[in-house]
Protein backbone atom coordinates (compact mmCIF):
# COMPACT_ATOMS: atom_id res chain seq x y z
CA UNK A 1 0.00 0.00 0.00
CA UNK A 2 1.14 3.58 -0.55
CA UNK A 3 2.73 5.24 2.47
CA UNK A 4 -0.15 7.71 2.79
CA UNK A 5 -2.72 4.90 2.92
CA UNK A 6 -0.72 3.02 5.56
CA UNK A 7 -0.61 6.20 7.62
CA UNK A 8 -4.40 6.51 7.46
CA UNK A 9 -4.85 2.86 8.41
CA UNK A 10 -2.67 3.34 11.49
CA UNK A 11 -4.80 6.34 12.41
CA UNK A 12 -7.91 4.14 12.14
CA UNK A 13 -6.29 1.56 14.41
CA UNK A 14 -5.67 4.24 17.03
CA UNK A 15 -9.30 5.32 16.76
CA UNK A 16 -10.39 1.71 17.23
CA UNK A 17 -8.25 1.42 20.37
CA UNK A 18 -9.86 4.55 21.81
CA UNK A 19 -13.27 3.15 20.89
CA UNK A 20 -12.48 -0.08 22.74
CA UNK A 21 -11.47 1.87 25.84
CA UNK A 22 -14.75 3.77 25.86
CA UNK A 23 -16.65 0.55 25.19
CA UNK A 24 -14.81 -1.06 28.09
CA UNK A 25 -15.95 1.73 30.39
CA UNK A 26 -19.50 1.18 29.16
CA UNK A 27 -19.41 -2.51 30.04
CA UNK A 28 -17.87 -1.75 33.43
CA UNK A 29 -20.86 0.46 34.21
CA UNK A 30 -23.28 -2.16 32.90
CA UNK A 31 -21.63 -4.75 35.13
CA UNK A 32 -21.94 -2.43 38.14
CA UNK A 33 -25.64 -2.03 37.35
CA UNK A 34 -26.04 -5.81 37.07
CA UNK A 35 -24.41 -6.21 40.49
CA UNK A 36 -26.81 -3.65 41.95
CA UNK A 37 -29.94 -5.25 40.52
CA UNK A 38 -28.75 -8.78 41.37
CA UNK A 39 -29.64 -8.03 44.98
CA UNK A 40 -33.17 -7.08 43.95
CA UNK A 41 -33.56 -10.20 41.83
CA UNK A 42 -32.29 -12.49 44.59
CA UNK A 43 -35.58 -12.88 46.58
CA UNK A 44 -37.50 -13.52 43.35
CA UNK A 45 -35.09 -16.24 42.26
CA UNK A 46 -35.14 -17.73 45.76
CA UNK A 47 -38.93 -17.99 45.68
CA UNK A 48 -38.77 -19.51 42.19
CA UNK A 49 -36.31 -22.12 43.43
CA UNK A 50 -38.54 -22.99 46.38
CA UNK A 51 -41.62 -23.41 44.18
CA UNK A 52 -39.76 -25.48 41.58
CA UNK A 53 -38.34 -27.82 44.22
CA UNK A 54 -41.53 -28.19 46.23
CA UNK A 55 -40.34 -26.21 49.25
CA UNK A 56 -43.06 -23.59 48.91
CA UNK A 57 -46.65 -23.82 47.70
CA UNK A 58 -47.84 -20.60 46.02
CA UNK A 59 -51.12 -19.08 47.12
CA UNK A 60 -54.12 -18.76 44.83
CA UNK A 61 -53.37 -15.06 44.46
CA UNK A 62 -49.75 -15.74 43.50
CA UNK A 63 -50.90 -18.38 41.02
CA UNK A 64 -53.47 -16.22 39.23
CA UNK A 65 -52.57 -16.05 35.56
CA UNK A 66 -54.94 -15.98 32.61
CA UNK A 67 -53.30 -18.18 29.99
CA UNK A 68 -54.21 -18.38 26.34
CA UNK A 69 -55.75 -21.82 26.88
CA UNK A 70 -58.10 -20.76 29.69
CA UNK A 71 -61.57 -19.28 29.41
CA UNK A 72 -62.89 -16.36 31.37
CA UNK A 73 -66.54 -16.01 32.34
CA UNK A 74 -67.59 -19.14 30.42
CA UNK A 75 -66.96 -17.60 27.01
CA UNK A 76 -65.60 -19.54 24.08
CA UNK A 77 -61.81 -19.60 23.78
CA UNK A 78 -61.98 -17.69 20.51
CA UNK A 79 -63.97 -14.87 22.15
CA UNK A 80 -62.38 -14.78 25.60
CA UNK A 81 -61.02 -11.60 27.09
CA UNK A 82 -57.34 -12.01 27.67
CA UNK A 83 -57.40 -9.39 30.44
CA UNK A 84 -54.03 -8.25 31.72
CA UNK A 85 -52.17 -10.61 29.41
CA UNK A 86 -53.29 -8.55 26.42
CA UNK A 87 -51.28 -5.64 27.77
CA UNK A 88 -48.02 -7.52 27.61
CA UNK A 89 -45.75 -6.97 24.66
CA UNK A 90 -45.70 -9.62 21.99
CA UNK A 91 -42.19 -10.66 22.96
CA UNK A 92 -43.03 -11.21 26.60
CA UNK A 93 -46.21 -13.08 25.71
CA UNK A 94 -44.20 -15.47 23.59
CA UNK A 95 -41.85 -16.15 26.47
CA UNK A 96 -44.59 -16.90 28.98
CA UNK A 97 -46.92 -18.82 26.66
CA UNK A 98 -46.72 -22.58 27.05
CA UNK A 99 -47.84 -24.59 24.06
CA UNK A 100 -48.89 -28.20 24.33
CA UNK A 101 -45.66 -29.44 22.81
CA UNK A 102 -43.64 -27.46 25.35
CA UNK A 103 -45.21 -29.09 28.40
CA UNK A 104 -43.37 -31.65 30.49
CA UNK A 105 -42.63 -34.72 28.46
CA UNK A 106 -43.66 -37.03 31.28
CA UNK A 107 -45.96 -39.96 30.73
CA UNK A 108 -47.87 -39.32 33.94
CA UNK A 109 -47.49 -36.84 36.78
CA UNK A 110 -49.33 -37.69 40.01
CA UNK A 111 -51.56 -35.03 41.56
CA UNK A 112 -49.56 -35.05 44.79
CA UNK A 113 -46.22 -34.35 43.06
CA UNK A 114 -44.07 -31.75 44.75
CA UNK A 115 -42.73 -28.77 42.85
CA UNK A 116 -42.36 -28.80 39.07
CA UNK A 117 -40.66 -31.98 37.78
CA UNK A 118 -37.82 -31.48 35.29
CA UNK A 119 -38.35 -27.71 35.30
CA UNK A 120 -34.85 -26.68 34.22
CA UNK A 121 -34.51 -29.36 31.57
CA UNK A 122 -37.84 -28.32 30.07
CA UNK A 123 -36.95 -24.62 30.25
CA UNK A 124 -33.60 -25.11 28.53
CA UNK A 125 -35.07 -27.32 25.82
CA UNK A 126 -37.47 -24.49 24.99
CA UNK A 127 -34.64 -22.02 24.37
CA UNK A 128 -33.39 -22.59 20.83
CA UNK A 129 -29.76 -21.70 21.57
CA UNK A 130 -29.61 -24.08 24.55
CA UNK A 131 -31.72 -26.81 23.00
CA UNK A 132 -29.14 -27.23 20.24
CA UNK A 133 -26.46 -27.96 22.85
CA UNK A 134 -28.41 -30.53 24.85
CA UNK A 135 -27.72 -34.07 23.71
CA UNK A 136 -29.68 -37.17 24.58
CA UNK A 137 -27.16 -38.33 27.16
CA UNK A 138 -27.36 -34.93 28.91
CA UNK A 139 -31.05 -35.20 29.74
CA UNK A 140 -30.85 -37.75 32.58
CA UNK A 141 -28.30 -35.51 34.27
CA UNK A 142 -30.26 -32.29 33.74
CA UNK A 143 -33.33 -33.89 35.33
CA UNK A 144 -31.43 -33.57 38.62
CA UNK A 145 -30.83 -29.83 38.17
CA UNK A 146 -32.39 -27.94 41.09
CA UNK A 147 -31.34 -24.37 40.40
CA UNK A 148 -29.12 -22.13 38.28
CA UNK A 149 -27.61 -19.05 39.87
CA UNK A 150 -25.58 -16.17 38.50
CA UNK A 151 -22.97 -14.76 40.86
CA UNK A 152 -21.47 -11.46 39.72
CA UNK A 153 -17.82 -10.99 40.67
CA UNK A 154 -15.53 -8.00 40.81
CA UNK A 155 -15.21 -4.75 42.78
CA UNK A 156 -18.92 -3.89 42.51
CA UNK A 157 -20.15 -7.31 43.63
CA UNK A 158 -22.18 -7.40 46.84
CA UNK A 159 -21.77 -11.13 47.44
CA UNK A 160 -19.07 -13.15 49.15
CA UNK A 161 -16.82 -14.53 46.43
CA UNK A 162 -14.06 -15.89 48.66
CA UNK A 163 -14.81 -19.41 47.45
CA UNK A 164 -13.52 -18.42 44.02
CA UNK A 165 -9.87 -17.76 43.02
CA UNK A 166 -8.62 -14.41 44.31
CA UNK A 167 -8.36 -11.67 43.27
CA UNK A 168 -11.79 -12.22 41.73
CA UNK A 169 -11.87 -10.59 38.27
CA UNK A 170 -14.83 -8.61 37.02
CA UNK A 171 -17.24 -11.10 35.49
CA UNK A 172 -19.71 -13.70 36.68
CA UNK A 173 -19.99 -17.32 37.75
CA UNK A 174 -22.77 -19.70 36.77
CA UNK A 175 -23.65 -22.13 39.55
CA UNK A 176 -25.53 -25.32 38.68
CA UNK A 177 -27.08 -26.92 41.76
CA UNK A 178 -27.93 -30.62 41.53
CA UNK A 179 -29.78 -33.14 43.65
CA UNK A 180 -27.93 -36.37 44.60
CA UNK A 181 -27.47 -38.41 41.44
CA UNK A 182 -25.51 -41.40 40.07
CA UNK A 183 -23.50 -39.28 37.62
CA UNK A 184 -21.22 -37.23 39.93
CA UNK A 185 -20.74 -36.47 43.61
CA UNK A 186 -20.58 -32.67 43.38
CA UNK A 187 -23.74 -30.89 44.46
CA UNK A 188 -22.67 -27.70 42.65
CA UNK A 189 -20.88 -27.29 39.32
CA UNK A 190 -19.54 -23.88 38.34
CA UNK A 191 -18.43 -22.10 35.19
CA UNK A 192 -16.56 -18.79 35.53
CA UNK A 193 -16.48 -15.97 32.99
CA UNK A 194 -14.03 -13.06 33.06
CA UNK A 195 -14.98 -9.77 31.45
CA UNK A 196 -12.32 -8.21 29.26
CA UNK A 197 -12.79 -4.44 29.16
CA UNK A 198 -9.51 -3.29 27.69
CA UNK A 199 -7.83 -4.37 24.44
CA UNK A 200 -4.59 -6.36 24.69
CA UNK A 201 -1.53 -5.20 22.81
CA UNK A 202 -1.74 -8.40 20.78
CA UNK A 203 -5.25 -7.49 19.64
Residue 99 has pLDDT above 80, yes or no: no
What is the pLDDT averaged over residues 142-153?
Answer: 93
Tens-digit pLDDT profile for residues 178-202:
999 999 999 999 998 887 766 666 6
pLDDT classification of 104: cutoffs 50, 70, 90 = very low
Q: CB under 8 Å, gap of 24 or more: what pairs does 33-42 form?
A: 34/152, 34/172, 35/152, 35/154, 35/156, 35/157, 35/158, 36/156, 36/158, 38/150, 38/152, 38/158, 38/159, 39/158
**Could you tell me the pTM of the whole model?**
0.71
Amino acid sequence: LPKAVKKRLKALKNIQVEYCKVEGEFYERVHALECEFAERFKPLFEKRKNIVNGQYEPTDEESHWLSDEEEEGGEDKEEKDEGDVSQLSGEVKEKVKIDEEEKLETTEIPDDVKGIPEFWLTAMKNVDMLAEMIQEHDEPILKHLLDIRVVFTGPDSNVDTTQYPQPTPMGFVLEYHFSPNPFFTNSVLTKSYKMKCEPDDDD
